Amino acid sequence: MIVRIAVTGAAGRMGKTLIEAVGLAEGAALSAAIERPESSLVGSDAGELAGVGKLGVIIAGDINAVINDFDVLIDFTAPAATVANAKACAAAGKKMIIGTTGCSEDDLAQIHGAAVTTGICMASNFSTGVNATFKLLNMAAQILGHDYDVEIVETHHRHKVDAPSGTALSMGEAVAAGLGQKLSDVAVYAREGQVGPRTKDEIGFATVRGGDVVGDHTVMFLADGERVEITHKASSRMSFARGAARAAVWLAAQPAGMYDMQDVLGLK
């Protein structure tokens, strides 16, 4: 069975890469594409926009205009759009892959609400390499324990609007879980002025923004006399898009519920 996939945010950096990745994925076909209603690209061919040649899929300006044309929606847009799309997908019984980051607690509650009636797979990072890294970080934290100071540094292109990255936060959660802590109890997101010495259990975050960096993350475990660094560097958005297309094919066969990329990869 071929899973019919819609990509929203079709003209975005991830949207264009997703259109290409869906075309390359086994068991999947692009059947719809969506952009903001005011976008001048509504009405264009999605394949031509993504640089992969004409596909005969015309970009719509409203999800409801194409709601019967797909099985799974892939959404890498912005929190408000993603929450509205989750409600539309739940009402129509359509499944959804969410890559959007920067969602508030309230946004997440609404997305979880939609997952009561449909299958939703949400991840801060859909790359297989990053998801393997989450597992490695959890193991490293369990082995190294509380004697190592943990600091997370991430770098992204100048256009990224949320900080720290969703991936950095997920890395922090993987470490905190390995140490038996909750990230919200130990995270330190900024240091400026007379902040005093580092406390024992804090997990510090530092954000770098600039240029065209797709996404670099380094987690440091620092102790007296040594340090361990676990780094992931993404050089192409294709790593995220390939994972999202794979997750969409997997999700098509799952019952209603909330999933993440660790479920798709069988890492739980």
**Binding residues for ligand NAD (CB under 6 A):** 8-9, 11-15, 34-36, 39, 76-78, 81, 99-102, 123-126, 240
Beta bridge partners of 91: none
Q: Tokens 């490293």, residue? A: 140
- Alpha-carbon distance 130 to 124, whole Å? 10
Distance CA 103, CA 105 (A): 7
Of 37 and 145, which CB lies nearer to ligand NAD in the complex structure?
37
Which entry of 95, 160, 217, 232 is annotated as an active-site residue? Answer: 160
The distance of closest approach from Cβ of residue 258 to ligand NAD in the complex, given in angstroms and rounded to an integer, is 15
Q: Exactly one of 156, 159, 232, 233 is catalytic; which is it?
A: 156
Q: Min. distance of Cβ 222 from ligand NAD in angstroms?
A: 28
> In this structure, what token pair is assigned to residue 197?
């010495």
Partnered with residue 154 across adjacent β-strands are 207, 217
Contact (CB, 8 A) for 133 and 232: yes
Instruction: Give the residue with the Cβ less far from ligand NAD, 199 or 236.
Output: 236
| Distance in angstroms (rounded) separating the CA atoms of residues 186 and 27 | 43
Q: Toward ligand NAD, which CB reaches closer, 4 or 217?
A: 217
16 to 33, 114, 238: CA distances (angstroms): 10, 26, 10
Nearest residue to ligand NAD, using CB? 12
Spell out the residues 6+ positions from residue 131 whose beta carbon is closer than 8 angstroms to its own: 123, 125, 243, 261, 262, 265, 267
The CB-of-234 to ligand NAD minimum distance in angstroms stands at: 8
Instruction: State which residue, 121 or 153, has the beta carbon closest to ligand NAD.
Output: 121
Closer residue to ligand NAD, CB minimum distance, 12 or 257: 12
| Distance of closest approach, residue 18 Cβ to ligand NAD, in angstroms | 9
Active site residue 156: yes
Residue with tokens 């597992």: 135
- Please report how close the Cβ of residue 12 comes to ligand NAD at its closest, in angstroms: 2
Residue at token pair 């580092």 = 198
Check if 182 is active-site: no
Which are the catalytic amino acids? 156, 160
